[in-house]
Amino acid sequence: MVKNFNCSVATELLSKQVEESNMATPKEIFLKDYKQPDYFFDTVDLNFTLGEEKTIVSSKIVVYPRVEDFDFISSLFRFIQENKLQDLWWLGTFFRLFDVLGVHAEFRVLGFLIRFESMMQARMGSFGSLDGGEEPPIRLISQPYRPLPQRFLQFLLLFMGVGIAFSFLSMYASWYIRLPGEVPVVQSRIEPPCVQKAMNFESWMRPPATLLHEMDDSELFWRASFVPKIKQYPMKRMAKIAFMFLTRGPLPMAPLWEKFFKGNEKLYSIYIHSFPSYQPEFRPSSVFFNRQIPSQVAEWGMMSMCDAERRLLANALLDISNEWFVLLSEACIPLRNFSTLYQYLARSRRLSFIGSFDDPGPSGRGRYHEMMAPLVNITNWRKGSQWFELNRKLAVEVVRDKTYYPIFEQFCKPDCYVDEHYFPTMLSIDFPSLIANRSLTWVDWSRGGAHPASFGKEDITKEFFEKIHEGEECMYNGEATSLCNLFARKFAPSALATLLNHSAQFFGF
């Protein structure tokens, strides 16, 4: 960096003896004997204070240190001195522009030298005596003026243009050209908000890339309850079935379900709610791989069981393509092939399949709490299986409910078994025409007790499944049908091998 120094010197009148001795024989200094000083003198300001007895001369000099090891500037400066280039004021202006832009230190110094030379030429010959016409102590010997050759001026301008162009090219190359051996610079892919890609329609339709998230239940339910006001979809939508598995841990019937799903990959989605401590070990090729949702502990007969079911519904609602939602356990199996199930749900005239009936006995109305009135009267009290199939409209209604949930949470305590009453009662009150009042899951309660019968390897025969379908009769789209049960439970892990070996015979897949 070029620094400047300001010096102020005040001189008093010399004694007559010293003045006469110094001015008696002026010494001539020729240009050929000139030696460059260590500093450049930019400006010299003289201030004269005249008095009766003495004259005080104050001099202010702006000095720059000389730039070393720069032969080009030194040679050019000598050439300017020899040729008396006082008319190249425009060249000094040009270099002053580089001085402002800060392009190169060499150009700044060269601009200063030309300004200095122009100033010296303008002042040359104007120096007179400091005391009434006497000769100055230093006499300058002027030489005849020699104009600058035009060819040299053209060459100088061409050289300057090439130098500037080369500077810009080198700067461009350093930005965009990666030379061998250079350390690659990792550019961030984070774009500022002003240049982010606009959200398109596909981004709204695309299901979440992963089922894991950090939303709590209130945030999840709020997000899942979004419903478009325009019923007609603006694109061709392939409706899917969401299979929601509510389990404690493993899925022992997973191989049978994989066989059931095979070949229908675009028509279903899977969601698993298990205990938070359970770590599944599905193969990457499995349809159940990475299908666990953020879960919490769910206790049988408690409100936490309904929370888990609503959590499954809410996560499945995040995929706009899911139209039907089937709740299953780890002990459930399919009784029909996938095509039969899909057509059955698609043609059901918007009915949802959930058990809902009035049980006047102790396990029905006997569980009702009178403090639920007047919101829920005993005549509204319903019972049904917790294993349901809901369409998208009713799934949203279950997730967004804040009316019935507090009542059932407060008054339907453990002996009430809230998972058998909450959804059937709520939907029968608000949407009685949209539910079929029956479940699609077959369960055997003939053995009595608090839990249905469980079936193992020795129970799995052709006659067993024929008995399940035999004598069935239910209403479907206003007409009687024998196709009523599409799922069944409870099946023990020991039954898996037999089910797999005879799936084509028993189920058609």
What the chain holds in terms of domains, given with CATH numbers, is 5-160 (no CATH), 215-227+237-436 (3.90.550)
pLDDT, tens only, 399-428: 999 999 999 999 998 889 999 999 999 999
Q: DSSP labels for 382-426? A: -B--S--EEEHHHHHHHHH--SSHHHHHHH--GGG-GGGTHHHHH
The pLDDT, as a whole number, for residue 446 is: 84
Average pLDDT estimate for 164-169? 76
The pLDDT, as a whole number, for residue 75 is: 55
For 428, the 3-state DSSP assignment is helix
Considering only 221-225, 227-231, 341-345, which range has the smallest mean pLDDT? 227-231
Average pLDDT estimate for 450-454? 87
Cα pseudo-dihedral 162, 163, 165, 166, rounded to 10? 110
pLDDT, tens only, 468-507: 888 789 999 999 999 999 999 999 999 999 999 999 999 9
Place of tokens 């981004």: 203
The pLDDT, as a whole number, for residue 379 is: 96
- CA 398 to chain CA centroid, Å, is 32
Question: For the chain, what percent of residues have pLDDT higher than 70?
Answer: 69
Confidence of residue 185 (pLDDT cuts 50, 70, 90): very low
Asked if the model's pLDDT at residue 41 lies above 50, the reply is yes
Confidence of residue 54 (pLDDT cuts 50, 70, 90): confident
Confidence of residue 460 (pLDDT cuts 50, 70, 90): very high
For 138, the 3-state DSSP assignment is strand
Nearest Cα residue to 487 out of 308, 183, 170, 260: 260
The pLDDT, as a whole number, for residue 84 is: 53
The pLDDT, as a whole number, for residue 189 is: 52
The pLDDT, as a whole number, for residue 81 is: 54
What is the rounded CA–CA span in Å between residue 311 and residue 247? 13
pLDDT, tens only, 55-98: 888 887 776 666 554 455 555 555 555 555 544 544 555 455 44
The pLDDT, as a whole number, for residue 129 is: 40
